Each structure stands twice: as structure tokens, then as C-alpha cells.
Amino acid sequence: MIIAANFKSNLTLQKIKNYFSVLDSFVNGNDDVYVFPPFFAMQEKAKNFHIGVQNAYCEFNGAFSGEITLESLNDFGIKNILIGHSERRNIFGENQELCARKFDFFAQNNFSIFYCIGESLETRKKGKSAIEDFLSSQFDRIDVDYEKLIVAYEPVWAIGTGVSAKIEEIEETHNFLRTLTKRPLLYGGSVQLQNISDILKIKNVDGALIGSASLDVENFKKMIEVARGKK
């Protein structure tokens, strides 16, 4: 099971230093844990879990004010990235063409790519074939066989709302996604200590991407503990 934490724009450097030190002594070699803190924490190190960046631009360096690029990621030894998170797509207007360009660039540079997809509530309400068409469109120009691809299915209406998708909805969608790629499929969207066990039991769910519930290290540790029972 892959367990990943997305801190988004939360916590401070000191809080993250403390968090990492607690987490690093808890995680062991059998766990597969990734943490995506804000960029200011990229210089922090961990022995037992992977650190990744939540976003970066697809160039080595240059005139891209406000963006992080490959040269600085190399400097910190970062090789994991989130691409296509719904907050990037919906708040910052990243379209499929840009997501695909980022994907190609970071795949060429051998990154593990957590590629996020997920439909809106409007699409969900239209039913199965609308959902499948929409999710398929989020794979346009994406190499679904890339060996370091990890897909995170995160329905937009379940992110940060405290209302996760239902077990049957996750199962049906992951079964569909399994027809598109053989790579690991994570579920994300209001995964909490109370529901992670049931979610990780679902067929074709290979792990979870966790936002709000990962911000407290003790809570995140308990979620990793649950995942240990599901190998």
C-alpha cells in the first residue's frame, strides 16, 4: 500500500521539521510513504519516507517568475512530484495540455509522478458514462504505462469536504481505471482515520492520498498503521 500526504499550503518550517523527525522514526522499510510538503521544506531530509513537490514547472530554469523548476528540485534531490491536482487545475487554471507537458518533462527526468484525476459533482451526477469519458479525457497525452506513474483518483467533490466517495463509487471507478492502466491506483478525497481501513480493502485500491487528515503527524501515523495490515 502506498500512503501519501499532501500538506498543500499548510504548516511552517519548524512544524514540518518536527513532523518529519517524528514520522521518520515511525516509518520502516516495509512502508511506502510519500510526503508532499510546501516547497520551503524541500531541503528537509528523511531516511524512511519519500519527499516530493506539489507542483513544478516543466523547464530546467529560466524566466518563469514564481515557479519552481528542475534545477532547484535537482539541488534538493527531489524525484517525486504531484501533477494535475484538482487545485492546480481548478484554482490555477492548469489545463490538460499543460498537465501533459509537465508529465512528459518529469517522466523524461525519471520522476515518480503522482498523477491526479477526478470529476466534479456536476459530472458525477450525469452518471457512469459521463464520469468515464471525463476521467479518460484527463489521460489525454499521458503515458499510462510510464513505470513511475502512480494515479490518484480524487473526486473533486470529495476533496477537503469531509465527505469521501462511497465505497461502491470508489470501487466502480477504480475498476474502470484499472482498464486504462496497470499502474498503482490511489484514492484521495476526505480519507480519514475512520474510513481508511474500508477504503484500502477495496479491490484495485493500492493506497491513499491524504490531505487534511495528514496534517497531524500522530493521526497520519495511525493511518499508516492501518495500511500495514493491508499489504
Q: Which residues are catalytic?
A: 85, 154
| Cell numbers placing 187 | 484514492
For position 189 contacting ligand PEP by CB under 6 A, the verdict is yes
For position 212 contacting ligand PEP by CB under 6 A, the verdict is yes
Binding residue count for ligand PEP, defined by CB under 6 A = 13
Q: How far is the CB of 209 from ligand PEP (least distance, A)?
A: 5
Q: Please answer whether residues 215 and 195 qualify as being in contact, where contact means their C-beta atoms are separated by less than 8 angstroms.
A: no
Single residue of 20, 211, 223, 227 touching ligand PEP by CB under 6 A: 211
Q: How far is the CB of 166 from ligand PEP (least distance, A)?
A: 15
Q: How far is the CB of 112 from ligand PEP (least distance, A)?
A: 16
Tell me the torsion sign for CA atoms 45, 215, 190, 158. Answer: negative
Nearer to ligand PEP, 138 or 190 (CB): 190
Q: How far is the CB of 75 from ligand PEP (least distance, A)?
A: 26
Please choose, out of 55-63, 122-130, 134-142, 154-162, the segment that lies near ligand PEP by the rule CB under 6 A. 154-162
Single residue of 190, 217, 220, 227 touching ligand PEP by CB under 6 A: 190
Q: Please answer whether residues 7 and 19 qualify as being in contact, where contact means their C-beta atoms are separated by less than 8 angstroms.
A: no
3-state class (DSSP) for residue 150? strand
Single residue of 6, 80, 138, 173 touching ligand PEP by CB under 6 A: 6
Single residue of 33, 135, 191, 217 touching ligand PEP by CB under 6 A: 191
Distance in angstroms (rounded) separating the CA atoms of residues 181 and 139: 10
Cβ neighbors of 57 (< 8 A, separation 6 or more) are 64, 67, 68, 69, 102
Distance in angstroms (rounded) separating the CA atoms of residues 195 and 188: 12
Secondary-structure breakdown of the chain: helix, strand, coil percentages, each rounded to the nearest 5: 40, 15, 45
Residue 39, beta-bridge partner list: none
Q: How far is the CB of 226 from ligand PEP (least distance, A)?
A: 15
Q: Please answer whether residues 86 and 161 qualify as being in contact, where contact means their C-beta atoms are separated by less than 8 angstroms.
A: no
For position 38 contacting ligand PEP by CB under 6 A, the verdict is no
**Interaction site with ligand PEP (CB under 6 A):** 6, 154, 159-160, 188-191, 209-213
